Amino acid sequence: MAFRDGWMYVANTNAVVRFRLDANHLPSGAPQTIATYSSGSGHFTRSIVFGADSALYVSIGSSCNLCEERAPDRASVMRFDPNGGGGRVFSSGLRNAVGIAVNPLTGRIWVSQNERDELRPDHEDLPPEEINILEDGANYGWPYCYGDRVPNQEYADPAKCAKTVPPALMMQAHSAPLGINFLDRAAKLPAEYRSGLLMAFHGSWNRKVPTGAKVVLVRIVAGLPVSYEDFIVGWQLENGSRWGRPVDVAVTRDGAVLVTDDLGGVIWRAAAR
């Protein structure tokens, strides 16, 4: 969801719709469809944000684990005018950029990137998950390469990777990074955290030793992500079982942090005492 100028925008699987907000700031009336895009098969969630340029950006995941897409808007982030017109691919080669947020200092769009599965011979620890900082017209490698322009074995074509943009930060494979949020407004957290970013790791499904199921803090230096560390853990037990899986993070008006959990079916609140 995104809110702007008295409207609530919702990115559905096949279209962006919006609802007028009433006097109580609640959605009212029938939804108005303002933009459509590809849907069906593969990754079905869509993430949405308004950029510093007031344009609407929507992340559309791939239709497959690894393939050459027929529809140019798959595995991309699309840019639309605020009212839904002028749709075009802004950045491509993004297998499934679920988390999307605007850096409050630079105005650039950051995304969390879920990379491919079943990469031989070390599918458990390759390829790394990614944070990408989007550029207009840039390609980030999928399906031809992963990591720092490493060719995928199915294509084995370094030439197709040569002009792609490598990740701004690489992270543990199969962590399944989802929602991201900058902490500049997180007044209820200690000041040392407010220059960073929180990211929800939904967690792996295909490792002998599960990873993820936690929230991590990404440290940022000079406008770039340089490292990440555990911030909230405990949803995954020592035997690998889980009682919760983080999905998204948000900062409330009063400066606390909210974390959604789709396994526990709850929303957690984090704040300093």
Q: What is the pLDDT of residue 151?
A: 98
pTM of the model: 0.97
Residue spans of the domains in the chain: they are 41-270
Q: What is the pLDDT of residue 242?
A: 98
Q: What is the pLDDT of residue 43?
A: 97
The tens place of each residue's pLDDT in the chain, 273 residues long, gives 999 999 999 999 999 999 999 999 999 999 999 999 999 999 999 999 999 999 999 999 999 999 999 999 999 999 999 999 999 999 999 999 999 999 999 999 999 999 999 999 999 999 999 999 999 999 999 999 999 999 999 999 999 999 999 999 999 999 999 999 999 999 999 999 999 999 999 999 999 999 999 999 999 999 999 999 999 999 999 999 999 999 999 999 999 999 999 999 999 999 997
Exposed (0-12), middle (13-18) or buried (19+): which is 209, by Cβ within 10 Å?
exposed
Q: What is the pLDDT of residue 257?
A: 98
CB 174 within 8 A of CB 130: no
How many angstroms separate the CA atoms of 142 and 67, rounded? 9
Q: What is the pLDDT of residue 117?
A: 97
Q: What is the pLDDT of residue 44?
A: 96
Q: What is the pLDDT of residue 68?
A: 98
Fold classification of 41-270 (topology level): Neuraminidase (2.120.10)
How many angstroms separate the CA atoms of 111 and 131, rounded? 6
Please identify which residue in the block is written with the tokens 């949020």: 181
